[in-house]
Structure 1
Amino acid sequence: MGASLVLGIIALVLGLVLRYWINRRKFYRRSSTGAEGFSSYEKSVAIKFIERVGKWIAYALIIFGVLFLWSYSRQKKASQNTEIQKP
């Protein structure tokens, strides 16, 4: 098992879990009318900013995870091709 495979899986899972957790918090914060409920304006601004940054981090983790998995598959194909070509 290569390091890029492990890093790819970890980054992909962390990114997906982070997106799920942020979206779930946002869903449960909504009232029956669809409006988000905050106790103060400052809390609203801070939480929305943190969630926005968290989503960007989650997207970056997902992209890095996919790139690590892609590089692992390329390395595996290259090693299989070199094994086949050896007499």
Structure 2
Amino acid sequence: MNPTLFLSILALLSGFGLRYWINRRKFYRRSPLGAEGFSSYEKSVFISFLERMGKWIAYALIIFGLLSAWVYSREKKDKEKQELKTEKPI
């Protein structure tokens, strides 16, 4: 397996997994009225900050994964074109 393809799959899976985990935690923290419940103000600020940073990291991983997949496809196309040029007799 090509390392570029492996990195792109790994980055995409970890990015989507991180987003899912953060959103799931946020969902289950809500009360029946829709308000998030924290035991203290400090916890609220700290957890919200960590979740915000985690989402930015997840977005960066997803973008990196998509760009890596694009690079892999371009490399594959270039390799195929090169093989076609070498196969044709002159």
TM-score with structure 2 setting the length: 0.95
TM-aligned CA deviation for residue 76 of structure 1: 0.3
Q: 2:79, 2:59 → 1: CA distance?
A: 30
Q: Aligned Cα RMSD in Å?
A: 0.5
Which amino acid in the other structure matches residue 30 of structure 1? R
Aligned counterpart, 1:38: 38
Same amino acid, percent of matched pairs: 66
TM-score with structure 1 setting the length: 0.98
| Post-superposition CA distance 1:26-79 (Å, at most 9, x none) | 000000000000000000000000000000000000000000000000000000
Larger radius of gyration: 2
Secondary structure of 1:39's match?
Answer: coil
Which amino acid in the other structure matches residue 79 of structure 2? S
Aligned counterpart, 1:82: 82
Q: 2:77, 2:2 → 1: CA distance?
A: 13
Which amino acid in the other structure matches residue 17 of structure 1? G
- Unpaired runs of 5+ residues, structure 2, are none
Segments ≥4 residues shifted beyond 6 Å: none
Q: Number of paired residues? A: 87
Aligned counterpart, 2:29: 29
